[in-house]
Structure 1
Amino acid sequence: MAEKGSGNMENNSSGDAVPGRTEQILCQPCSSKDKQTVADVFCSICDEFQCMDCSNIHKTYAFMKNHKLVNAKDIKEKPVWFDMKGLDQCDEHQEVLKFFCEDENQLCCSTCAIVDHRKCHSVVEIQKIAGRSALTSSELKASVQDIREKAETVVRYTKSSKEQLDQDVKEVSLTIIRMRDNVMKMFDDLERSVAKDAESFKTETLNKLTKKQSDNEKHIADATKSLETIDNVHQNGTPSQQFILKHKMKKQVDELSSNVDKECQRLETVTISFDFDETLKIPPLLISDYIPGQLTLKYSVPEAVKPITPVDPIVKLTKITSIDLKQTGDDVEEPLYSGLDFLPDGRLVAVDNKNKKCLIYNEKLQKVGSYQLSYMPLSVVAVSEEEVAITSTSYCTIDFLRVSKSNEITFIRKCKVMTKYGSICMKDERNFVVGAYDDTRPVRIVSLSGEEKDFNIKFPNKKYPIGNSACTYIRDSDKVVLTDSDEHTVYIYDIKSNARVVVKDDQIKEPRGVAVDTSDYILVCSNEINSIVQISQTGRILSSYKLDMKRPYIVCVSKDKSLIAVSSNLNGGRKLQLLKVTY
């Protein structure tokens, strides 16, 4: 389309000429800057009306010295131009493309040529090289036609695919309708079969429970009768009679006590449930051939009952060495080690929350490496032989650092996440288990690349402040352990069954750091009573080791399970200790 170009010419006449008014042509570069400046010249190469100041650029750059400038008053209108629909405009500066940089094979406007290509050796005017273009219009047209034909092929294919997809969806509905009657029959058979087994189990169990109840009601009656006899003799009998009663009844009381203790140890909670398999075989099938689920008959010890004689191995801790964590060198505060973990070769990694450091200790707790961080770290975990991951108090990030065999620490990468995390441990080779703070999902899974997802666990609807909880993971049994400092409680969640064990005990006060020991038992820092408490996965307290430090805060176990490291958070008396694990 051919039309006349505009040069921002401002004609002060409206209709017929008015005496005393003159025609004004404005400078185009100035107009683009919202300045109203009368044009003095017109450059046919730049295709612009320019004021004297703007036209001086022709004297500055050698490639513009051959531009022909004429008096603006001699130009009434620009030459005819073809509307390129914006193709002749610079994408960055919205100016007409007038130059071509042969060094970088790029079209340029005046600004591009001056600013971006001033160091290039061959910036030429387009009109001088336009006839040398190797790509003819016919070749360009053929390429575009080829593209259109391929796109049309794609459209035809996708239309066919959509039609086939519509047919497939309809067939799915028909298939489901055909399956439905068979499925309903299968579930009717299943209901009858499972109900029969469950009823049989209930009858058998009720008989046992009834006998247990009856036996213990007799124990209650015997104990009540004995108490009445003891009270009667104590109030009315002579000293001799009281003495005789004591020795006469001792055997009877011992026997009764033994029987009741045995009954307490054998206390069981009997439950019955039905869990479907994750996948079901396609029916129709005889119920005898396949039951799409599993009937679970479960016996569990209630939390309130503690067996008298423990059968689990008791961990024994022996202190190897200890150091005081004091402010030294470039420390701005007394060190607070908020995270600990052992590297596979036995070196200990610690993060200092107060002084923003990552540190390395050898087997004698001698500091052999240090790295200054830009944030306050919270926890650390060894990812591999020479790599650790660190969580932060300030940012939703997990940083990865390299710890070389020569104890040099270098930054590897930063992994951005959506949640602020504190405690961190390895779930498997590709995922972490992390403890979140100020979030109703206190424990989550994060991949090494930063992908976050939740456990299929119903946690309490509670947000833990920073430092008030910690978590760990027991890989072999697929269990999550969570400490609650405010509630003096340790929670053990079974991922497979979605069951929860709640551990509360006088030996657990302000539980903080948590780790897993040699036999997959749980070690918890009991902060208020200065102890490490060993807990079984069923929630039984196995042992409590009194530490030679106050306010134990973080605990970790070496990869060979032979050592543990503990740090404390007591202001003015913080320590780091190494202990040997034996049974």
Structure 2
Amino acid sequence: MIKYMLTIRHMEEEKQINGLITKTMNDLLLNCDVHNNKKLKMFCQDHNKLCCSDFVLLNHRQCTKLALISKSIKKLIIDMKQLSKQSQINLAELNKFSRTQAASIQSVEGSYTEKLHEIRELRKQLNAALDELENTTLKELDEIRYILQTTLKENADNCSRLKKELQQISKEVQGLCDESNKELEFIASRKCLNKIQESESYLKENPVKVQSPMILQANIDIQQYLSTQSSLGRIVYNMPSLTLKMIQDQVLTVKRKSEYNVEKSADKAWTCLITGICRMRSGQVIVVDYNNENVKLLDPHYNVSSHCDVFGTPCDICQITSSEVAVTLYDARVQFLFGAMGSL
């Protein structure tokens, strides 16, 4: 009896869960994707779109193949098994893409950490090189100071010696002024004259002057070179293009085609030959003109706003950074153009 009651209770709970799932699925299927509180009523065959009443009024009033869903199902053949199979294939591709993107994100982080370490190591090498230059300059400074100090100290010592000797002999001469010892006076006078002559010769060879301060003639080439550099290096990356998997037997229809004239009066060729095109992140477009050997910047209305000649015959173009493009030339060279966001 108890087992029977438990079985009934389990069946009732399962019915409630199934009822909840059914209601959720119905809301998901029957509600408009754009206007969530509106029920889908119409089908536009022109655009292959399910529409609610608001969607019809806003976007599909001019459509000729617009009908109620109840009428559309009578005309369209639906293969649910094929839809289910195709959805599973697409889900598998999306899962694969999601895993690839997750792995790519991790790869970017790993690459970022690696390059950050390389930049730090490069900075250490530059610091070591600058430290070596500084030490060499300091060593030269110390050597010059030693030479100057040694010379000045030697001169000061000689001056002190001459001054002391001259003072002593001068004192002796003054003491003999009242004496009558002619021989002693003669000797004292000769020694005094010799010291005077020695002092005069020394002062003549070493005139009195104040030592000028040492001057650093800085190596401006290093500073000027560093001031011309914008960074320690260029960071380049390869962004793989996405490959769109086309559904077989699907017909693509061109909705609109526009043509624009990119000729300029200054062009040297009769006609332009566009061999490459690049759209910048700002929305601007740059085209390669093979015949006129230049690249042209187009404004939002696709009019030529500026142009830049290249050193050769250009073949193609691609964006490198937000303000830099690379142009391949016919002779296998590559020319880089900066400031592509503004005037070329």
Fold conserved between structures, TM > 0.5: no
**Higher RCO by CA contacts (8 Å cutoff, separation 6 or greater):** 1
**More strand per residue:** 1
Larger Rg computed on CA atoms: 2
As a proportion of its length, which structure holds more helix? 2
What TM-score do the two structures reach when normalised by structure 1? Answer: 0.20
- TM-score, normalised by the number of residues in structure 2: 0.31
